[in-house]
Structure formats: C-alpha cells, structure tokens
Amino acid sequence: KTVPVSDDIKHCNVGTIGHIDHGKTTLTAAITKVLEEEGYSRFVSYEEIDRAPEEKARGVTINATHVQYRTKMRHYAHTDCPGHSDYIKNMISGASQMDGAIVVVAATDGQMPQTREHLLLAKQIGIKNIVVFINKVDLVDEDVVDLVEIEMRELLNDFGYDGIVTPIIRGSAKLALQGDNSEMGKKSIISLMKAIDEHIPTPTRDTTSPFILPIDDAFTVPGRGTVVIGTLERGVIKKNDEAELLGFNVKKSTSVADIQIFKKSVPSAEAGENLGVLVRGVRLQAVERGMLLCARGSMDISNCFESEIYFLTKSEGGRSKPVTSKYIQQFFSKTWNILCRVDVKEGEMIMPGEHARVIITLLRGMVLLEGQSFTIRENNQTVATGIVAKILP
Ligand code: GDP
Ligand code: MG
C-alpha cells in the first residue's frame, strides 16, 4: 500500500498517542478516508490498522501499524499502536522516531492516565511538537468540550509544551469515518491535517550547529597520518577546522588536515555526507570506533545520566527477574558498547515489562546526546531499551 511520492515532496513522521479507547485507530482510519476523498491518499480501514503486525525492534516486540498518506504539502508515515505497552515500547526504543505526535483525547473522559504518560514520554524522548484532537464530540455538549480543552492546555504547559499555541482540534473520528461531511466529521479531519502541516515542522538536517562526526572506522595513510571515517551527523566541517577527538575517557585536540569524499579531497563537507578526515597528530592506536570527532570545545564527555528505560519481559527475550540498583551489564549505543551500572530509586525495583526512570553510569566517559537511544544486553540478549533523558554533572 504505497502512495506515490514524488522526489520534491517533504516527508514527516507522526503518530497517534493517548488513552486506550479514546479513538486513536478510528482517527487514523478517518484521516486516510478523508485524504483519499481529497485525492491524496489511499483509504486504510479500521480493521486493517487494528490488525497490527508484530515488529522486532532491537529485540523488543512491538505491535504497531504504519500507515502512509499525504496532504498537498507533505508525505506522512503514521504510527498507531494497539495497546498502551506497545506505545511505551515504541516510544522508548525510538522505533518509529516521530517528528510530531497527535494526542487523541475523548471529550467523554477528558485526559486520563495514559494521556499523561504518553505526553510525558513524548517530552522525554524529544518530540517537540504536538497537535491535540478532542475526539467523540458527538457525544457531549459543547461546554464539556470547552472544559476538556482548558484542561489539555494546562496539561501541555505542565509537561513543557506550549499550551497556548498548540493547535487543539475538535471532532468526531467516528462520524468522519462514516462519511459525515459536517464540522464534526470530515471538516474536523481537514482542520486537523492543516494544523499538522503547519504546526509540525519538517525535520531538516542540522548544518548550523558545530559539527559531529561519529567514527565508524580509521586507517593510516603512509606518510600522511590517520584518517577517520564516518557520516557527518551535524554541521559543516572545513579543512583546517580545530577539532577534538572524544570518547572512552579520551579528549584529544587535533585539527582537520584534509577531507575526502569518494577518495577526492574537498574543502568542506555537510551533514549527511560520508567522509574521511585526515587528523593531525593522532596515532591510529588512539582512535576507537564509537569515538566522535567534534568541533573543538563544542562537546564534552560524560559518564552519568538519567534515563527512561524499558525492561523486556521474559517472552520478549528479557530477564525473568527484577532489576534493583547496582545492576551491571553491557550498554550499546550507536556503534559502541561499554560496561554500565544501572541504579533505580532507593528501595525500588523494576520488573520485566515495566518502564522506569533510572540513573546510568558508564565505565568511561562518552559523548552523550539527550534523546540518544541505547540497549542493554546480557549474554548478547537485549534485556532493556532506553533513551538518554538528562546528562548529570
Ligand atoms: P483506540 O483504543 O484509542 O485506538 O480507540 P478506537 O479507535 O479503537 O475507538 C474506541 C471506541 O470508540 C470504538 O468503539 C470506536 O468506534 C469509538 N469511537 C471512536 N471515535 C469515536 C467518535 O468520534 N465518536 C463516538 N461516538 N465513538 C467513537
Ligand atoms: Mg487502537
């Protein structure tokens, strides 16, 4: 089921989140229906979406459906999950990296525990933009919807979103899905898509921040020196830039002697490009896969951070026993791994299948970015997946 995508149209990843039974799947189906009528999409029925396939993401089993559609402006991949725990796993493992989320809240209930939990996670994993859909407005009076909206704006503020500018659309996904053309039906979906188009920015490559090159490999060019290889994650790198090699407790100043792309020397390169960098005064033995080459002074190494983490159940390949403090295992992120210690809140323990906020200490200092995802493995089996939430001093 692919909607044709032309090369020049922008892409954006979104997803429905919110409390069970508030209408996330109905809304997902309604969006595809209305956009099909507009001539942009293909209708995907409720039943097709709800029959979510199982995915293996980093060893975690997640039930999730990805639906595609487009508006005049953009192409979208939309994730809908059947159950609460699927949302938790999907969000914490970074399985479907949402650029923006559609929070569905039923006017009949208002915000509920899972609305809050998903919103909190959305914030913690770095989803910057939210659009709210107050659903089931066909079942309540307008002043009830007004109250739900006021509550939602307060909740958004409480979780660090902008409760004033966040678009809140009211409608009935069910009516829209049934072909109702009224304000509550089709028109509410059109307003929602307009709000998503306008409020959730298209992700762009960051070419303005100081450069970061995660090192995948390194080799020696006889007579010249050490070349590190990787894909520039961020920024622009130029010949003679002052740089720093960071990771595994190492902080070594160097500079960019040459940049090569496809074996040709170039004066500069931009985020997204695969390149080799000849670094001055660095021995090959000093470089390790997993280190970063960064603009000098722009990044630092750290070995302690708060994390949002999910422990897999036994049937997902995880542990059978709970985790308590001083849990020591191998930590995997990007291209590197290192020994780590997990500490939980005093007196608490985490059961397999649960998620929690924990403090993780790495054996050596690495460059860590908030939002970076990782896994923890025991005997080569993934037992946990998580996200770096807050670097600690
Ligand atoms: P999810 O668990 O959030 O995916 O919720 P569903 O989309 O499965 O919807 C849960 C129930 O609410 C279903 O019985 C839907 O038919 C019903 N429902 C969804 N949207 C609306 C709506 O706008 N109005 C009414 N009256 N019922 C709705
Ligand atoms: Mg559902």
Q: Does 16 contact ligand 1 (Cβ within 6 A)?
A: no
Residue 116 CA, ligand 2 centroid: distance in Å: 17
Q: Binning pLDDT at 50, 70 and 90, where does residue 211 land?
A: very high
Probe residue for ligand 1, chosen from 16, 20, 22, 26 as the CB with the greatest number of ligand atoms within 8 Å: 26
Average pLDDT over residues 154-174: 96
* CB burial string 64-82: b at 16+ within 10 A, e below: bbbbbbbbebbbbbbbbbb
> How confident is the model at residue 7, as a pLDDT?
53
ipTM over 0.85 threshold = yes
Give the residue numbers annotated as catalytic, written as ranges: 21, 24-25, 84
Q: Residue 381 CB: number of other CB atoms within 10 A? A: 12
Residue type for position 229: I
Q: Ligand 1, atom 19: nearest CA belongs to which residue?
A: 23
Give ∠ CA 305-369-388 in degrees, rounded to 5: 40
How does pLDDT run across 106-128, given as a tens digit for each residue? 999 999 999 998 998 888 778 89
Which range, of 231-235, 254-258, 266-270, averages the lowest pLDDT? 231-235
What average pLDDT score do residues 324-349 get? Answer: 92
Determine whether the shortest distance from the Cβ of 170 to ligand 1 is under 6 A. Answer: no
Average pLDDT, the chain: 92
**Distance (Å, rounded) from C-alpha 245 to C-alpha 255?**
9
Residues with CB under 5 A from ligand 2 (ion): 24-25
Residue of 65, 174, 177, 187 best suited for mutating to test ligand 1, as the one with most atoms within 8 Å of CB: 174
CB of 261 closer than 6 angstroms to any ligand 1 atom: no
Q: 317: CA distance to ligand 2 center in Å?
A: 25
Would you state the pLDDT for residue 2? 44
For the cut 80, the answer to whether the pLDDT of residue 384 exceeds it is: yes
Contact 24 CB / ligand 1 (< 6 Å): yes
Distance 60 CA to ligand 2 centre (A): 20
In this predicted structure, the answer to whether residue 32 has a pLDDT above a threshold of 70 is yes
Which of 70-79, 274-283, 328-337, 357-366 shows the lowest mean pLDDT across its residues? Answer: 328-337
Residue 22 has pLDDT above 60, yes or no: yes
CA of 27 to the centre of ligand 1 (A): 8
Is residue 48 a contact partner of residue 112, using CB atoms and an 8 Å limit?
no
Structure confidence at residue 27 (pLDDT): 98
Summarised one tens digit per residue, pLDDT across range 315-336 is: 877 899 999 999 999 998 877 8
Q: Where are the alpha helices (DSSP H) in 4-141?
A: 24-37, 46-50, 84-92, 113-124
Of 107-111, 263-267, 302-306, 359-363, the range with the lowest mean pLDDT is: 263-267
